[in-house]
């Protein structure tokens, strides 16, 4: 990493933390606290993995959408990308700095709003605590991979769709993904083409791995490999897209 790249990363990170962005973690902290402190019916223990799953399962997609709205599209519209690309910087470097800064912001917010209530919950709970370090660490690692996947998909969408539309597209994509995953699992599980297409266009590998870890069924090597493959696919799409977009959308 060159000093210029690091500087660009720091600047991109600072650009994301506007006043609205500074208030957001507090808002998410309230929602996170509600998730932790509202007792789940029929539970007689404080299950850390279960709480973590509920917290991160909500926070990661929402926070990703918040920090990645119009990630590339806004930079094209307001001319920020144009001022950068006049310099000796590759589009890939720009995308990398941009995505890394978004990822950092997502994790700063998620750790603050997701882990803090969990720690407080652990301290004040009167119920017996169920806590497996390896399980919790594996869940954190998988949620990190999921956030990487969300950023890559949102970057890809934001290269082609304006502003908030890319978040709407992500929501639509999420709904289709769950429906298709259920359909393929029940009816087309023996068709390798259906499974292959579903895993790439609507990847569920990391989510299946989270389920496997949470339920302690098996070590999800295959699921993680599917997740990695779709992650590579979406990052390739993002890099391809950022090299294809029109930097200057001035009048024709």
Partner 1 sequence: MRRKKLLPTPEILAISVQNISKTFRPRSKNPVQALKNVTFAVPKGEVVGLIGPNGAGKSTLLRILLGFLDADEGKVALFEHDPESLMARRLTGYQGDSQFRTPTLTVQTFLELHAHLLNLNGSAKDNIDTLLKEFNLSNASNFSLSSLSKGMRQKLELVLAFLGTPRLVFLDEPTASLDPPSVFELRDFLEVRKKTGVTVFFSSHNLSEVENVCDRVLFISNGAVLADYDMKKRKRGFLEKAFRTHLMEKASS
**# residues near partner 1 by CB under 8 A:** 30
Nearer to partner 1, 89 or 201 (CB): 89
Nearer to partner 1, 60 or 68 (CB): 68
Q: Does 244 bind partner 1 (CB under 8 A)?
A: no
Q: Does 104 bind partner 1 (CB under 8 A)?
A: no
What DSSP assignment string belongs to the chain?
A: --HHHHHHHHHHHHHH--HHHHHHHHHHHHHHHHHHHSPPTT--SEEHHHHHHHHHHHHHHHHHHHHHTTTTHHHHHTTHHHHHHTSS--HHHHHHHHHHHHHHHHHHHHIIIIIHHHHHHHHH--SPEE--HHHHHHHHHHHHHHHHHHHHHHHHHHHHS-TTHHHHHHHHHHHHHHHHHHHHHHHSTT-HHHHHHHHHHS--HHHHHHHHHHHT----HHHHHHHHHHHHHHHHHHHHHHHHS-S-----
Binder to partner 1 among 19, 38, 123, 124 (CB under 8 A)?
Answer: 19
Nearer to partner 1, 24 or 49 (CB): 24
* Span of 50-58, 72-80, 146-154, 190-198 interacting with partner 1 by CB under 8 A: 72-80
Binder to partner 1 among 44, 134, 192, 248 (CB under 8 A)?
Answer: 248
Nearer to partner 1, 88 or 133 (CB): 88
Q: Does 218 bind partner 1 (CB under 8 A)?
A: no
Q: How far is the CB of 215 from partner 1 (least distance, A)?
A: 43
Q: Does 4 bind partner 1 (CB under 8 A)?
A: yes
CA 178 to chain centre: 16
Binder to partner 1 among 33, 58, 80, 112 (CB under 8 A)?
Answer: 80
Interface residues with partner 1 (CB under 8 A) are: 3-4, 7-8, 11, 14-15, 17-19, 75, 77-80, 82-90, 246-248, 250-252
């Amino acid at each position: 990493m060159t000093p210029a790249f690091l500087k660009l990363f720091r600047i991109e990170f600072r650009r994301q933390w506007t006043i609205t962005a500074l208030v957001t973690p507090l808002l998410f902290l309230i929602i996170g606290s509600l998730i932790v402190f509202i007792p789940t019916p029929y539970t007689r223990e404080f299950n850390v993995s279960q709480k973590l799953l509920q917290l991160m399962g909500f926070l990661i997609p929402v926070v990703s959408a918040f920090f990645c709205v119009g990630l590339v599209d806004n930079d094209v519209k307001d001319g920020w990308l144009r001022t950068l690309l006049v310099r000796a910087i590759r589009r890939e470097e720009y995308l990398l700095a941009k995505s890394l800064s978004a990822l950092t912001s997502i994790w700063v917010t998620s750790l603050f709003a997701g882990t803090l209530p969990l720690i407080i919950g652990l301290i004040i709970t009167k119920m017996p605590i169920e806590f497996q370090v390896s399980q919790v660490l594996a869940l954190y690692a998988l949620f990190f991979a999921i956030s990487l996947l969300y950023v890559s998909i949102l970057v890809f969408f934001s290269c082609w769709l304006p502003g908030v539309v890319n978040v709407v597209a992500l929501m639509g994509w999420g709904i289709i993904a769950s429906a298709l995953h259920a359909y393929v699992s029940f009816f087309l599980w023996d068709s390798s083409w259906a499974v292959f297409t579903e895993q790439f266009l609507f990847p569920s590998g990391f989510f299946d791995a989270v389920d496997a870890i949470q339920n302690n069924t098996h070590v999800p090597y295959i699921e993680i490999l599917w997740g990695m493959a779709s992650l590579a696919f979406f990052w390739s799409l993002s890099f391809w897209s950022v090299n294809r977009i029109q930097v200057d959308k001035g009048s024709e």
